[in-house]
Amino acid sequence: NTSWISEEAERLSRTDYADLDSNEARMLDYRKQGLGNEMVALSKNVITEPVLSQISKNPNSVSENIRKQEEKLAQERKYRDFLAQQLLNIADGFRLTNDYDSVGYYLEIRADLDKGSFDYQMDLAGFLSDQKRFSDLKAVLDEMSKISDLTKEQHGDLLFTRAKYYYAENQFDEAEKSYLQSLDFYGMSPTSVETDFKIAK
């Protein structure tokens, strides 16, 4: 019953299933209906058993297991993207059931797949920010700052999220500085009233 589910369902209702395989189509149907448990079960089913077993036993060794799987498949990027999508599906399934510890767990594993992926790291950072887990957020932001070749919008997203972190830590000068820098990357020039309002918020 949240606006997020409504917006997601509306967007997905326009999706053309013609180019999707059966599992992807079922996943979209589950997401539209808010069936989190079914999403988790299906995503875990389509991840290869060796990888799923490794994740459940020891998250720290996931990267090594992925490397071995990629060598066997000789399709590193394609396989990693596939696995990342399934991990996101699992996280979204747990999000629908309000199991936020599990959401964070799978988003962290997904982010660890590729430290150079801004999108993976940003999804995790956004979740941590929403959950007000600011001590964990700082480490993710520091990792994201190491990523090279960010677009202007990505720089803006990073700085805006960092501004929220500084605000939570009562570092208001740093928060405002990061916020204004983010607007520069977004190509925006707010009036002082808009700035004051958004910083206060």
Residue 100: predicted pLDDT: 92
130-134, 167-171, 182-186: least confident range: 182-186
Residue 94: predicted pLDDT: 92
14-28, 77-91, 96-110, 135-149: least confident range: 14-28
Residue 148: predicted pLDDT: 82
Question: What mean pLDDT is predicted for residues 82-102?
Answer: 90
Q: Which two tokens stand for residue 78?
A: 């394609």
The dihedral sign for the CA sequence 32, 36, 42, 46: positive
The yes-or-no verdict on residue 137 having pLDDT over 80 is: yes
pTM higher than 0.75 for the full model?
no
The yes-or-no verdict on residue 78 having pLDDT over 80 is: no
What kind and span of H or E run contains 17? none
The yes-or-no verdict on residue 125 having pLDDT over 90 is: yes
Nearest Cα residue to 190 out of 179, 174, 178, 201: 179
| Residue-averaged pLDDT of the chain | 79
11 contacts: CB under 8 Å, gap ≥ 6:
none
The yes-or-no verdict on residue 147 having pLDDT over 70 is: yes
The yes-or-no verdict on residue 32 having pLDDT over 80 is: yes
